[in-house]
Structure 1
Amino acid sequence: MKKEKNLLPYTTIKAATESDAIAIQKILKHYEGYIAKLSTKILSDEYGKEYCIVDKDVQEQLTTALLQMILDFEI
């Protein structure tokens, strides 16, 4: 049995391309986890213990890029 994908509704995407703030927030919330995953870095201390951190600069750049893509998207 196929796993159903969690897709954004067409109406939300269309509203976001028309600068609807609520629709844009829904899209940002939808991709929040993916952006955090892409922004995660693994650092290690002097004892070799590894830590996962979210690089806030990368996260901000990805969020800004997503916002720009939303506003530039043409249906």
Structure 2
Amino acid sequence: MEEQQNPLTYEIIKAVVAGEKWATEKVIAHYDSYIEELATVKERQPDGSVRTYVDEDMKQEIASKLLEEIPNFPMEKAERITKGETEAEAD
């Protein structure tokens, strides 16, 4: 499974939040199989069979939503966690 072989490191997350294109590509690649799974549609055919396919428009929409949310990632909280601080210490 690719997610386990190429984990999203703190450095990659930090770079993607900063807008680095290479990091954005890594995030999309990391989640590609999950996005594809979410965009998989089962459609019953007139003969009763079921056709399964990836809806490419839906896949693009999901990827776009992921990219839209990246700037909202709580980097300050992630930095505290990385440094080993607790919520109580930060306040």
Q: TM-score, normalised by structure 2?
A: 0.71
Greater shift after overlay, 15-24 or 51-60?
A: 51-60
In the other structure, the counterpart of 1:72 is 72
Q: Which runs of 5+ in 2 are unaligned?
A: 76-91
Distance 2:10 2:69 in 1: 16
On the 8 A contact 1:17/1:74 being kept in 2, the answer is: no
Instruction: Give the % identical residues.
Output: 30
1:15 shift after superposition = 0.4
Structure 1's consecutive aligned runs of 4 or more residues displaced over 6 angstroms after TM superposition are none
Q: Which runs of 5+ in 1 are unaligned?
A: none
In the other structure, the counterpart of 2:56 is 56
More helix by share: 2
CA RMSD of aligned residues (A): 1.4
Distance 1:67 1:28 in 2: 8
Residue 48 (structure 2) pairs with residue 12 (structure 1): no
SS of the residue corresponding to residue 8 of structure 2 reads coil
1:74 shift after superposition = 3.2
SS of the residue corresponding to residue 19 of structure 1 reads coil
User: Which protein, 1 or 2, shows the higher relative CO under an 8 Å CA cutoff with sep ≥ 6?
Assistant: 1
How many residue pairs get aligned? The number is: 71
Greater C-alpha Rg:
2
In the other structure, the counterpart of 2:83 is none
